[in-house]
Each structure stands twice: as structure tokens, then as C-alpha cells.
Amino acid sequence: MAQSLFQKVWNAHAVRTLANGQTQLLIGTHLIHEVTSPQAFGMLRDLGLKVAMPHRTFATVDHIVPTDQFAEPYRDPLAQAMMDELRRNCAQFGITFFDRSTGRQGIVHIVGPEQGITQPGTTIACGDSHTSTHGAFGAIAFGIGTSQVRDVLATQTMALAPLKVRRIEVNGRLRPGVYAKDVILHIIRVLGVNGGTGYAYEYAGNIFDGFSMEERMTVCNMSIEGGARVGYVNPDETTFAYLKGRPYSPKGEAWDKAVALWKSYASDPGCAYDDVFRIDAADIAPTVTWGINPGQGISINESIPDPRNAGAPDEKASIEEALAYMKLKPGAPIKGTRIDVAFLGSCTNGRLSDFREVARFVKGRKVAAGVKAIAVPGSQIVALQCEKEGIDKVLSEAGFEWRAAGCSMCLAMNPDKLIGDQICASSSNRNFKGRQGSITGRTILMSPLMVAAAAVTGQVADAREVFSLNN
Amino acid sequence: MSLAKISSVSGRAVAVPGNDIDTDRIIPARFMKCVTFDGLGEFLFYDVRKNADGSDRSHPLNDPRFKGATILLSGANFGCGSSREHAPQAIQKYGFKAIVAENFAEIFFGNCTTLGMPCLSAKREDIAILSAAVEANPGIEVTLDLVKQEIRFGGQRISATLRDSARDALVNGRWDAIGELLEGRNAVAVRARTLPYLAA
């Protein structure tokens, strides 16, 4: 019977059915970081357990690392304590740790693919909701809580019920200036922030066939913002070309065998889906958020919603709450909204192609007066490659601060934070209240090039106009 | 490992209304700079509960009428966002034993269940009725019945659902899977041998 990738990978990793009907699922790859793992190691010690498969467990440090300080001890003693704890845990349990001294450190969702650890047909778990990123390779990858980190450390398995699968097809042609980020912001806007609850999203159609791995990762990364714990793209030649020659990719004969196996995991033509949703690529515009969740997005040329036009009373209340927090005027254009900070980076858009694209267009331009602009590579390898290509210089000359690899201003666990009610044009993934570190700080999510356009104009702007992109 | 069989939860309730209440709001990220979960309870909903100077803002959890409530009521998509277990840990350590909402974000729901904290889904209008009853009489005893999948309070009853696997796990005292997962050790080894990428 024709099966989806999700079903095939699930079946290949199902160990047995548990008493409550859930599946004991083998987790082939476990990625850990400093924030959600220390308590799990503590529980492991309390129970007197070892790590079941240390060779399938990989660690890095990302959330708490300062991006402007390399030497330890860090100024923040709590950050240093978390760093020390991870180092100690990895040493004690024999886990590979991509520490900053290795040159391979970075945001966990950038490091896995970069190292070739993320592979098709595998199951991947990490104590971080953006683990869905790894689905870009045709893996089933999802975020877990700390108790489950403990379960995976101790048993290399966890208890889980299968998800339904919704295929999201995007076909047609993306207009100039429309990026992978716009595709996912559009999908979340249309299907809602909880539209994906209970589903894995299978992204398909000629747009995804043509996307690079980095573009696929951007979309899969934000699946969870649409409520879907898992998002994936079927593996193809683009996937294999990306993986070939990476440190953890199979070599020689094993490579050919692996590719054959990987191909076999792709969804069969004619397999059944629980839902199919189709989007015309031409309907997608450069998209920005105006509110306090990633589903509150509009195209750059639309006006900020007016609660008076809201359908349900619920919707009215949520628009009012968002506008009160964002201090935006209903009915006003979003274009022209003044910004204070521009942030380029994160596990959504902190990859080489993101910085290349921005550098291509900001070369010779200057960040507007009064705007603080920071560019934060997602990994040390991304940083090094940018530096080799001179991207760091282009960005620095334009007025961006070029930083060291980490999560930075995406989530407020390191020194990079908004101050007061600063408004930030951000290439990250969440615009929740207080997300960027100030309880009144405001976030507008957008693609990296739109962040660049905002940085050079000092306001939310249409990158197509700012950089003359229209055909 | 012997776990409590949770077939019902009784106590007083408090409503924290709103949809899409995310885990950053439940526990702001800066309080996650810790290596244990101890003490997280005091930071629950911190940024909406406290002013910058640490004084209280108007918030249901600061209302003395609801002090000691053990059942949290809220809206749709509760717990969306980050996978941080710090969020359910903060709710539990604050003193809550169960949550009732229209529906829950996937990862959050699983995290709560693993901690033995039931998450029951009820219809919006039913939650409104329950919230109104609690508002009118904060001392009212609310009982969440996981077996009958209903909520009883002051002579009224509303239906509330819980997916089968979670209900089974809670009612039968196997909500923390670690013991059962460990028992599967041999089956795990057999399965692992069929997957080339797991070879040591």
C-alpha cells in the first residue's frame, strides 16, 4: 500500500505499542543544548541511569552564548554555569560536544545539517520546538520537553502517538522578492497558529522541489509556529547533493547504499493524506507580522487590521490586544512603521544564503541613522564562510554589527535584547510579547532581505522597492 | 516506579482568559537560566503579573479571591510556542494540578501529561459558564472527572475531553513513561539493528 514518508519512517522506528496505546519510538538522533538538558541529566543521575546511545547524541551551545564575547567566564554567571554544566555532562556521559573551541559550534538546528548528522529517513528529537527544521531532509524531527530528553537519553526512545499528515502544495512561480520566509509566514497566516495541531506538514509542489536545502529548512523551521510539531520535505537529489561529503555523511559504498535507502523513504505517489491544502505561489507577497503571534501577518502593501472589521468577538479581542501591545494604528499601512532595531540571524534565517542575499543588496548602502542593526551567523562555519566571502565586511561597512554565532536576539537568553518598547525588524520566528527580551519590546517578523530594507530605510519597507527588485 | 493514579482533580479554580497564551508568557525565557526546575513557580506569568519594579499588576493570579486555586482555566491554543518544560513545571510548582482550556498546543500537552498534570479540553461556551461560576463564587469546588470526561461544579456539569492515550496514562498511573520505556530495552536493540545509521 502506498505510504507517506511519515508513515514509513514511523514504522521503521516503532519499537512496540505501550500500555496506553502510544508507540515506543526509537529516536535515531538526539540533539541537545544547554537550556533544556541539565535537568534531564539531573534526573538521569537521580535514577542511576546511563546514556543509552552516546554515539547518537550530539550537543552544542547556542541559547545563552554571548555573541560579542568569546572568552570565558561569561559576564553572566548563570550563563557560565549552564555552559559548565553541559560540558561536564557531555564529558561524563561520553557525548560529542560541538563546543566553541571546535569551530563547529552554532545553533543546534544549523549544526546538525551542516555536519551531515541530519539525514533522510531518520528520527530526530531535541529539547527545542524548532527541531522541525531537520524535516527539510525528509526526517521526522520534533521538539520535546525535558522529561522526554531524559527518556531519550536513558532509552533512545520516547512514548508518542502518530500524527496525521497534511500535504501542503505550493505550485506556480514566486514573484521577485518573495522568499521561503514569506512562504511559511503566508502558510501560517492562512492555516492559523493552531491549524497544524495534531498534524505533520508535508511540504510539496514545484516550489519546494526547486528550493535549496536552506530554503526548505526555513519553512520547516516554522512548522511549529503553525501548530505542527513536524514539518518535512521529501528527500531528493537536492538533499543528497547537500549531504555529500559532510563530516557525518556516509562515505564510499555506504553512501550509495544510504542514498538508495533514503530514496525509498519518500512518500509514494498516490499515498493517502489526512488533508491536502494547495497554495498558488503567485498569491504570496513579502509578508510581515503586525501582531503578537506569527499568524498575525499581512503582505507589505496591506493595512494593519481594524478590530471593527473583525468577524468573531474573539478575533476582535485578539486584534485589540495585539494592537495595544504593538502600539500600531488600526487601518494604517504597515509600510512606513519606524523601527529601532534590525536583527539578521536565528535558526530560521541565520544561514549562508541568507547573509549572501542581504550582502548582495546592501553593498554600498548604509543602515539608517538611529537604527541598531546586528547580523548574527547561525554557526561558526556560517561565520567563517561569510568572512571568506567578505560578507562580514559588506555588512559591517553598511553599519551592521557582525557578531559571533548563537541564538542572539531571537529569544532573550543572552545579552542581545530589545530595550523598552523598541521595535525590531527581525528575521527570527516568534513575535510573542516580550520574546526579544523587553517586556514591552515589539517584533515584526520578515525575511532577511526585508530586514535589510528596514535597516537601510529605518522603517518597515518593501524590499522590492528599496532594492529595485521588480523584474 | 509507582505513580499516582489520577482519575480526578478537585479544587478551586482561576481563569486566566485569552487565546494563544504562549510559553514565553507562561515563563519568560530569562527565568530559564537555571540548571534545575526548583523555584520556577514564583515566575509563572511573571511579565503579565508584575511591574518592572516587582510590584503586582492586575492579574487573576494576584487576586486574593483566587489564592490557592489548583485548576487553571484558559482559552484556545494554550501553551503554544517553545517546547520548554519550564512552562508546565512553573504551572505545577506554582500549585496547579490541572488545566482546562479550549485546546492545547501539542508539545505543551505532552509535557503536562508526563508531569501528571491533566489538560482537559472543553467547549468555549462551557469554559465561559465555568469561569462565570468561579468569578461569582471563587470558593466553589470544581471537580475534573477524567473517567467520565466531565467537569462538575455547584450542581452543574459540562463535558471535557482528554485524548485516550493521555487519559489512560493518567488514570492508570503510567503518565511518566520512563519505567515502561526501560522495560523495552531488548526490543529497542532489535529495532536499532535494522537501521544502518545507528551502527556504533
For every residue of A284-348, DSSP letters joined together read: ---EEE-SSSTT-EEETTSBPP-GGG-SSHHHHHHHHHHHHHHT--TTSBSTT-B-SEEEE-HHH
pLDDT at A311: 85
Sign of the torsion formed by the C-alpha atoms of A71, A75, A76 and A78: positive
Is the pLDDT at B1 greater than 90? The verdict is no
Compute the nearest-CA separation of B35 from chain A (Å): 5
Interface test with B, best of A55, A89, A129 (most B CBs within 10 A): A129
User: CA A384, CA A185: separation in Å to the nearest integer?
Assistant: 29
Report the predicted TM-score, pTM, of the whole model to 2 decimal places.
0.97
Binary contact (A158, B177; C-beta < 8 A)? yes
Pairing of strands A123-126, A57-60: unpaired
3-state secondary structure of A258: helix
Residues contacting residue A308 through CB under 8 Å, at least 6 positions apart? A316, A330
Query: A344 has which bridge partners?
Result: A375
Binary contact (B103, A439; C-beta < 8 A)? no
Is the pLDDT at B200 greater than 80? The verdict is no
The minimal CB distance from A193 to the residues B80, B178, B196 is found for B80
| All domains in chain B, ordered by first residue | 8-175 (3.20.19.10)
pLDDT at A445: 98
Joined together, the cell numbers standing for residue A463 give: 524590499
Q: Tell me: the pLDDT tens digits for A18-35?
A: 999 999 999 999 999 999
Is the pLDDT at A63 greater than 90? The verdict is yes
Across residues B80-88, what is the average pLDDT?
Answer: 96
> What single-letter amino acid sits at B148?
K
Q: Within a domain: residue A188?
A: no
Nearest-Cα residue of chain A relative to residue B80: A227
Interface test with B, best of A89, A95, A157, A249 (most B CBs within 10 A): A157
Same domain, residue pair A46 and A145: yes
Residues contacting residue A54 through CB under 8 Å, at least 6 positions apart? A93, A94, A95
Q: Tell me: the pLDDT tens digits for A326-375?
A: 999 999 999 999 999 999 999 999 999 999 999 999 999 999 999 999 99
Interface test with B, best of A432, A433, A438 (most B CBs within 10 A): A432
- CB-CB neighbors (< 8 A) of A435 in chain B: 24, 29
Residues contacting residue B39 through CB under 8 Å, at least 6 positions apart? B93
Range of the domain at A250: 5-161+231-264
- CB-CB neighbors (< 8 A) of B200 in chain A: 53, 55
Same domain, residue pair A154 and A49: yes
High-pLDDT (> 90) share of chain A, %: 98
Rg (CA), chain A: 21
Across residues A170-182, what is the average pLDDT?
Answer: 97
Same domain, residue pair A445 and A378: yes
Same domain, residue pair A130 and A249: yes
Compute the nearest-CA separation of A407 from chain B (Å): 12
Across residues B84-107, what is the average pLDDT?
Answer: 97
Same domain, residue pair A21 and A84: yes
High-pLDDT (> 70) share of chain A, %: 100
Same domain, residue pair A396 and A458: yes
- CB-CB neighbors (< 8 A) of B39 in chain A: none
pLDDT at A416: 98
Q: Within a domain: residue A257?
A: yes
Q: Within a domain: residue A356?
A: yes
Asked whether A148 and B115 are in contact (CB, 8 A), the reply is no
Compute the nearest-CA separation of B195 from chain A (Å): 8
Joined together, the cell numbers standing for residue A131 give: 527541531
Is the pLDDT at B98 greater than 90? The verdict is yes
Q: Tell me: the pLDDT tens digits for A92-107?
A: 999 999 999 999 999 9
User: CA B22, CA B29: separation in Å to the nearest integer?
Assistant: 12
Binary contact (A129, B82; C-beta < 8 A)? yes
Same domain, residue pair A47 and A100: yes
Q: Within a domain: residue A452?
A: yes
Binary contact (B194, A64; C-beta < 8 A)? no
Q: Within a domain: residue A409?
A: yes
- CB-CB neighbors (< 8 A) of B111 in chain A: 145, 147-148
What is the number of domains present in chain A? 2
The minimal CB distance from A21 to the residues B48, B83, B168 is found for B168
Residue pairs spanning A and B at CB distance below 8 A = 208
Across residues A425-454, what is the average pLDDT?
Answer: 97
Nearest-Cα residue of chain A relative to residue B35: A38
Same domain, residue pair A304 and A260: no
Same domain, residue pair A243 and A339: no
User: CA B101, CA A283: separation in Å to the nearest integer?
Assistant: 35
Same domain, residue pair A404 and A457: yes
Is the pLDDT at A470 greater than 80? The verdict is no
- CB-CB neighbors (< 8 A) of B34 in chain A: 78
The minimal CB distance from A155 to the residues B18, B32, B188 is found for B188
Same domain, residue pair A252 and A395: no
Asked whether A353 and A212 are in contact (CB, 8 A), the reply is yes
Indicate which CATH number applies to the domain containing A67. 3.30.499.10
Across residues B134-138, what is the average pLDDT?
Answer: 98
Q: Tell me: the pLDDT tens digits for B111-124?
A: 999 999 999 999 99
Q: Tell me: the pLDDT tens digits for A392-428?
A: 999 999 999 999 999 999 998 999 999 999 999 999 9
Residues A236, A239, A245: CA angle, nearest 5 degrees: 135
The minimal CB distance from B182 to the residues A119, A155, A434 is found for A155
Binary contact (A433, B47; C-beta < 8 A)? yes
pLDDT at A291: 98
Interface test with A, best of B83, B167, B170 (most A CBs within 10 A): B83
Asked whether B38 and B111 are in contact (CB, 8 A), the reply is no
Q: Tell me: the pLDDT tens digits for B38-76?
A: 999 999 999 999 998 999 999 999 999 999 999 999 999
Same domain, residue pair A362 and A432: yes
Q: Within a domain: residue A171?
A: no
pLDDT at A441: 97
Binary contact (A24, B197; C-beta < 8 A)? no
Is the pLDDT at A314 greater than 90? The verdict is no
Q: Within a domain: residue A151?
A: yes
Nearest-Cα residue of chain A relative to residue B124: A314
Q: Within a domain: residue A102?
A: yes
User: CA B43, CA A19: separation in Å to the nearest integer?
Assistant: 36
